[in-house]
Structure 1
């Protein structure tokens, strides 16, 4: 095989060989460095593109250097195959690079390959000279070159391949328009790299090339290779693929930063730019913009997550930072800044609640070791949190309470959520004992807690009051015993002597003495009731209101008074105490009865006289009422009538309504004294929380006179 060497060819051949070396180096570099990304369509297409450029440049150089026609035909065919590889790879690279790789199906690749392959077949077989007229050689300026005349098939093939280049350029122009900063620079670089060879190839196709129409397209590959190399080195072309960012990234609420191995910002989305109110981010050191990020990006970890604080125009914001490596060489990193200000505010709020709560908030592990202790322990117990953390929660428990509490704690570990309430004593730093109440929640399975949370409240004052109440009740019981025994016995003796004296001595004062004895007996009886009726009532039931009214009315000397019940709805109460409450209200109504028979019929007035009173009992939406048509209670006296000893009747003890108040308080009811529709007294009892929905309701206007 003969070769030609001329001074005219040496520079041209040198450039072709340089283009071959540059393109081959880019292909090899990509295969070696980005071997983990060869499945990425854009990376594999980039390799095919540069491999085709290298083969095309080398084969065309050998075709120019050869002299024999068969050798020139052979290397021309190799260059033809390489050109097909270049164009198809260029199309695939542009489509994948612009984030449309879903279009790169087998059908698409077959469609873009079939025409160039058909043209090559026609060229290789010289079938009916459809592609070109028979090749021959000619000498131009002392250089042996091919004499080619292209046919219709060649024109179709070239136009089709040019069309693929134009489509690829369109994808890249779209990427340039949609990309941002560093990605735009990448896109422009790629666009330049593919358009530079396009121009000389058109010159060759139009038969306008120098020295017998030499093809300068492979020469232009040198420029393309250099541009690609710069894009890879300066703009990390192969590190972030595809580079076309969608509107989602730009408009996403979270911050988006790309930094290189020198910690310089390569890109930032609108969310990050809005944090500092500037667009001049690219190229600057990320630690100069966000100083708190320095420990994160320089710790050498492939992934990291932490929190930073950013003071911006809209105040202080908290961001959770995640770092991800984007290249196999760990040169490009993606920083995601998620705004957690609201979450942080909630956490701070709850932390503030815990740290400023008067209750003790303690977290212990399954062995009872304190892992967290709220600052309130200093106020309640006199210890600092650090003095208690790491110690057993049972160390400070009173020895008499420790065993039972420890057993209850161990039983609570088997519960799904709650641990039973417990009352016990805790030792303070001063050695005193405080009464406390604890409610625990078993959160050992909660990955954010992994412990048992104990809420402990100081109930020392409450326990002291309970002890004082017990002592008072005990004293009251003893007082009741004294009244019942030590006062009744002498009174009974005095009553016996009075009866004996009445038989033997006729005295005008005997009746007054007997009235005094009766009043003393009534006072003693009311005092005993008062001592026993004020206790809390736990045993209640659904009581039929008409029935208890009948019971109470039968126990009172009504002196001709009448009653009616306006409802048969039941009341939740202790029946015996409700009877005594009604007895006292009925007795009060009779004793203070009106002289005006406003509610009586004429027949009642004749039968009972003007001194009778009518009492009405009924229900309200929140309880029940008792009212009469007597003179009523003046507004300025309604608060005092429930006090001990308050009475306007010369025969009253002043304990009746006080007993009513005690029974109501024992039930947890409230009393409201108002005026009835007839001008008498009306007692309303609010039993909300104890009464049940009515099972049957009568007409509230109905009146049943006894």
Structure 2
């Protein structure tokens, strides 16, 4: 063996191949082909193994066995090749190499044969992966024919077929979907097959539960079929709709804000960080007189009053440095006419807003308000001065009032409701209580100021006022230090605005003398009533006693005239005497009747009720119309209804109309006018003889006459009766006249 190795290592002992007879032509070709196959297989096998190294299901047992046999054969061939260097076994080596080449060729064949087999598991794994991917895809996949016939359906978890697949496959789109949607789908299918391009469109299905939106992608699969990939885009559509609504609302708000800014009465200015104006609203024209373009791009601090520039700049820099804090400043800004407007400016930092990128300043013209505030301050100062003056005046008037109240002999006091304390009393009451000053009484209760009996009575009276809220009036005697006066007392409640009674004010007047006078008058009245009764009796007796002789005289005169008329001729003087006696007795009877009427008017019991004066006038006219042909024109105006005694008022109109008829009987025609003045006085006017005004006050005295008995008959008592009746009705009567111009009598009554 050692020799063999030495021989192998010694190159000189090995004859060159090809120069020995051992190198035959067949052998050479055998070795050449074997080596070529071995080289090709040697390069192919690693590449195949490298590509298939990650496969787990290869038939390694057979391949590795063949590979092991190849390596053993190949190694043996090389050992024999070394052996043949000394011993010529070239055919053996060639055969061994040929065997190795055959084994290697078979191994390569097996590897190539196994390659598709190995690829099959990989292909199966890809199908699994593809199935997993398809299951994960949220789209519905449908294979359709060019006529819209369902060929295959792959449902997803997100989208299910509209009907079970057995009911859909083989049917047309029109049988499954609404007609309009199916027709649209067929159009897109044909367009995809024609153009071989993906067709994308959207459609909507109205389900019973909700409305769903879908996106369909039509992909041509050859020339006759298409693949429709359908995705549910309802959520996206809703999001888009919501986004659209949001954008629309935002656009609307922006438009509203823009319109608000454009039409705002305030001036809106945007000032950049460099202090220049980048926007000025149109309202600047109305406020300052400038056009917006005149101010845009210019410094925001020009046209500001020099005294206001420092604090305006400070406010601007504060707004820039403190975005969250709005800044307010009041400045004077020069108008286009040179006058100064007072602007209230509020700045808000909007530098972070890209569309604004500045400080937004809202400017409001407060010139009128400032002027009004100035005027208000002036008015307030004036009011303060007036208040001070008023306080002084109130103090003076209060002092005067206290002086006046303390000077009154009446007892004035104020009592609190809660505790019956005397809040105030005047000096007269303090003296009546027995103290020197009212201050000793004020603040004490009525129980501390008066005796227990009087205090209890006062407390009961006060409680009535506090409870009812009404004024209490009473008269009573009280024993005080100054005596036992008879007091007339008023207790008046003092109320808050809510109506609650919080105190009372009282006033007590000493009417002792008045009561005594009243008692005296009462006694005198009783005596006068007794005297009147006696006078009535006397008047009746006198009238009866006077009437009886008058009746006798007139009776004897009448009998004497009759006797004389039956005799012969009577002397004229006798007739004249008899006529005088008759007229005198008649006039005396009238006087007696007048006196009785005048006395009865004063004692007549008044019965007041509404009286229509027009009826009284008509009755008086009928009563005093003359019997001769003398014409009288009456003008009667509006007459009121009055409150009074109808019987007495009838006497008034009867007497006045009778006088008017009597004193105007010489007028042709006689005119009598009856009516009411603007002031409400009733008048009776005639166009008679009239009278001098210096005698106007004597007309209403009894027995006063301005004309002789021969001119106008009468007793002189009628107007006295009229005056007495009018006065009893709380009225007044007067007359106006001129001689030969008539007379007018006026009187007043209480109208209803």
Does the pair score TM above 0.5?
no
> TM-score under structure 1 normalisation?
0.40
> TM-score under structure 2 normalisation?
0.38
Give 1 or 2 for the bigger CA radius of gyration: 2
